[in-house]
Amino acid sequence: MRHVRPARTEQRIVRGSLHFRVLTGGDPSMARRAPIVLVHGIGMSHRYLGRLHDELSSDGVVLSIDLPGYGGLPKPDHDIGVAEMADALAAVVASLGIPSAVLVGHSMGAQWVVEAACQSPGSVAGVVMIGPVADERHRTLAAQAGALAIDTLGESPGTNAIVFTDYLRCGVPWYLAQVRHMLTYPLEQRVADLAVPLLIIRGEHDPIAGLRWCRRLSGAAPDAALVIVPRRHHVVQRSAPRAVASAIRAHMGSGGAP
pTM of this prediction?
A: 0.94
Q: What is the CATH number of the domain that holds 185?
A: 3.40.50.1820
Q: How confident is the model at residue 258, as a pLDDT?
A: 37
Whether residue 216 lies inside any domain: the answer is yes
Whether residue 18 lies inside any domain: the answer is yes
DSSP three-state, residue 14: strand
Q: Is-contact 148 160, C-beta < 8 A?
A: no
pLDDT digits (tens, 9 = 90+) for 95-133: 999 999 999 999 999 999 999 999 999 999 999 999 999
Q: How confident is the model at residue 254, as a pLDDT?
A: 46
Whether residue 1 lies inside any domain: the answer is no
Residue 55 has pLDDT above 80, yes or no: yes
Number of domains into which the chain is organized:
1
Whether residue 122 lies inside any domain: the answer is yes
Residue 31 has pLDDT above 70, yes or no: no
Strands (E), 58-191: 62-66, 101-106, 124-130
Residue 179 has pLDDT above 60, yes or no: yes
pLDDT digits (tens, 9 = 90+) for 37-52: 999 999 999 999 999 9
Segment 73-80 mean pLDDT: 96
CA atoms within 13 A on the CB side of 75: 14
Q: What domain range is 212 assigned to? A: 8-253
**Higher pLDDT residue, 27 or 122?**
122
Angstrom distances, CA of residue 12 to CA of 9, 21, 62, 95, 216: 11, 5, 16, 12, 37
Segment 191-202 mean pLDDT: 98
Q: Is-contact 165 71, C-beta < 8 A?
A: no
Q: How confident is the model at residue 257, as a pLDDT?
A: 36
